[in-house]
Amino acid sequence: MAGCSVRGCRQPGEFRAPLTPGDFDGPGTWQWLCLEHVREHNAKYNFFDGMSPDEIEAAQSPIAGWERATRAFAHAGGGKGPVWRDFVDPLDAIAARYRPGPRRHVIDRFTAQERHALGVMGLNDDTDLHTVRKRYSELVRRYHPDRNGGDRSHEAKLIQVIEAWQLLKSATAFAQPG
């Protein structure tokens, strides 16, 4: 058996893989790869399925993604643009724009205000109402003066948590279907 086609690899070439994507039938377009390299090969060709050219570009170069996003933010909304404080973390703002595939609908479940409320409660975007409710009762226990010996130092935080809960419990993302 011939060896794996990848230069420097000494494993047996047991698996047939097309040399170029979309060119599966032509003669002489196959290479033979070992298990590890055929997996790598398949992962490479499937990874970009369903992405737009912009998303592929962003995925291939995180730095290019950052530059593009910075530019887009700078020019959006007549110079104002989406504000960074709408996001828990500036990197989330980049990720929300460039994360490829099915994750995107998770990001879009919440408005910027709701995302801020999730941040107040220390939760991320792929949470559910049960988790929010549970976190809310934990935080109320932690910050409520009646529950920590009359200590009012956490009152501002308690108010934030209550406001966050009021907003999130009626979030569209948590609405029951039907």
Q: What does the binding site for Zn ion look like in residue numbers (CB under 5 A)?
A: 4, 6, 9, 11, 34, 37
| CB nearer Zn ion, residue 11 or residue 70 | 11
CB nearer Zn ion, residue 34 or residue 121: 34
Cα–Cα dist 162/157, whole Å:
9
β pairing state of 30-33 and 15-18: antiparallel
Q: How far is the CB of 39 from Zn ion (least distance, A)?
A: 10
Contact 21, 45 (CB under 8 A): yes
Shortest CB 4 distance to Zn ion, Å: 3
Closest approach of Cβ 31 to Zn ion, in Å?
10
In the complex, least distance from residue 2 CB atom to Zn ion, rounded to whole angstroms: 11
Please identify, using beta-carbon distances, which residue of 39 and 85 lies nearer to Zn ion: 39
Q: In angstroms, what is the minimal distance from the CB of 34 to Zn ion?
A: 3
Closest to 2 measured CA to CA, from 24, 31, 22, 27: 31
Q: Give the nearer residue to Zn ion in terms of CB position, either 12 or 100.
A: 12
Q: Which is nearer to Zn ion, 4 or 139 (CB)?
A: 4
Measure CA of the first residue to CA of the last residue in the chain; give whole Å: 59
- Across the chain, the runs of DSSP E, i.e. the strands, are 15-18, 30-33
Distances (CA, A) of 176 to 83, 108, 128, 149, 170: 30, 17, 11, 39, 11
